DNA sequence: CGTGTAAGGAATTCTGACACG
DNA sequence: CGTGTAAGGAATTCTGACACG
């Protein structure tokens, strides 16, 4: 039961130009949301940003919230909450697996 | 029963640099295989090539064959055969659907 | 606060060509 | 035939800054 899950969707392979096309957001906005820690592109050796399809989806969510008047600070808070929750779930899952494996 | 199927895998979004990284092939080789009609990237407005994850897989196949001494001409022939077969299948499927819909 | 823009540099990509074998 | 490379230009991306509100 491999937990690969790193399918194409999460691979950081697109440069900011296509991301701008795909999301309809300006490059300025995209870079700004990164500055506010709402999105986390990778970097190539020489520093150009690389995004995944997941990032595209994430950007659409962010854009929707911004449009609704939500401030980046609020969006960030929500994101942090979600990350903490995910982190906790991962730990619990790990413990369950440990329990399970002990029985074998 | 939508036939969308244009998931992330087939979206042409990567530039030749990442493709080179992902496949391990030189940009020269990648452009050459295109010249030989073995692969079909799209182009952005200003002419830079855009590839999909499917293209990455296709390039790996091509690389394997080249390594086995198969010439691009042969690879192209196989590709053409496959395309004809696919085309035929698509038509048949279309006819079956027509038959099916007539019954409703 | 969120976003546009001009600025200058660095890195990317493109094409056509010469080279070798 | 398949691929490397140097060449020159065009397009992309990057950062820090000024602007407006």
Q: Evaluate whether A42 touches A49 at the Cβ level (below 8 Å).
A: yes
Nearest nucleotide to A63 (CA to C1') is: C2
Q: Which residues of A fall within a CB distance of 8 Å from B44?
A: 17
pLDDT digits (tens, 9 = 90+) for A27-64: 999 999 999 999 999 999 999 999 999 999 999 999 99
Phi, psi for A42 (deg, rounded to 5): -90, 180
A3 belongs to a structural domain: no
Quote the pLDDT of residue B2. 55
Quote the pLDDT of residue B19. 98
Q: Which residue is listed with tokens 């440069």?
A: A15
**Percent of chain A scoring above 70 in pLDDT:** 91
A22 belongs to a structural domain: yes
A4 belongs to a structural domain: no
Query: A99 pLDDT exceeds 90?
Result: no
Quote the pLDDT of residue B98. 82
A74 belongs to a structural domain: yes
Task: Assign residue B75 the CATH number of its domain.
Answer: 1.10.1660.10
H helix or E strand, kind and range, residue B42: strand B42-43
The boundaries of the domain holding residue B36 are 10-102
Average pLDDT, chain B: 92
- Closest to A23 (Cα-Cα) out of A48, A59, A50, A47: A59
B71 belongs to a structural domain: yes
Total count of domains within chain A: 1
Q: Which residues of B fall within a CB distance of 8 Å from A50?
A: 18
Query: B39 pLDDT exceeds 60?
Result: yes
Q: How far is the first Cα of chain A from the last one, in angstroms, to the nearest whole number?
A: 16
Nearest nucleotide to A29 (CA to C1') is: C3
Check B13 against A17: CB less than 8 A apart.
no
B49 belongs to a structural domain: yes
Quote the pLDDT of residue A6. 63
- Report the pLDDT averaged over residues B38-60: 97
């Amino acid at each position: 039961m491999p937990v690969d899950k790193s399918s194409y969707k999460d691979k950081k392979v697109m440069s900011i130009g296509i991301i701008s096309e795909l999301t309809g957001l300006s490059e300025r906005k995209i870079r700004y949301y990164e500055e506010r820690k709402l999105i986390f592109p990778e970097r190539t050796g020489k520093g150009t940003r690389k995004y995944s399809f997941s990032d595209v989806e994430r950007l659409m969510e962010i854009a929707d919230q911004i449009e609704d008047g939500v401030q980046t600070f609020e969006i960030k808070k929500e994101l942090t909450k979600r990350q903490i929750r995910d982190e906790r779930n991962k730990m619990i899952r790990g413990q369950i697996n440990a329990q399970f494996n002990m029985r074998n």
